[in-house]
Amino acid sequence: MRKTSGYTEWITHDNISFITNCFGRILYVNPNWPDGSYEKWSGTNKGLAKQIREKCREGRHFDVGELTLELL
């Protein structure tokens, strides 16, 4: 069941992971998923394009508290 609020983890086929908010805006990236840690996204493109999202698999869903724990 897909949540309509909160945060979603997206994982590419080459193990790069993104966390987006409910509007699809990229907030954090993990270039070495699952072993690496998340870093604040500093790229110019803030939105996860539909074409990229279609090539990713949907990972975990977070609420604010769960996201905070994941980032610590």
Residue 60: predicted pLDDT: 93
Position 29 scores a pLDDT of 93
Provide the number of structural domains found in the chain.
1
What letters, b where the CB count within 10 A reaches 16 and e where it falls short, cover 52-61?
ebeebeeeee
Residue 65 lies in a domain: yes
Q: Which domain does 45 fall in, by range?
A: 7-71
Higher-confidence residue: 2 or 65? 65
Question: Domain for residue 1, yes or no?
Answer: no
The more confidently predicted of residues 63 and 51 is: 63
| Predicted pLDDT at 1 | 46
Within a domain: 2: no
Q: What is the pLDDT of residues 3-60, one digit of tens each?
A: 557 999 999 999 999 999 988 888 999 999 989 999 999 877 777 777 777 889 999 9
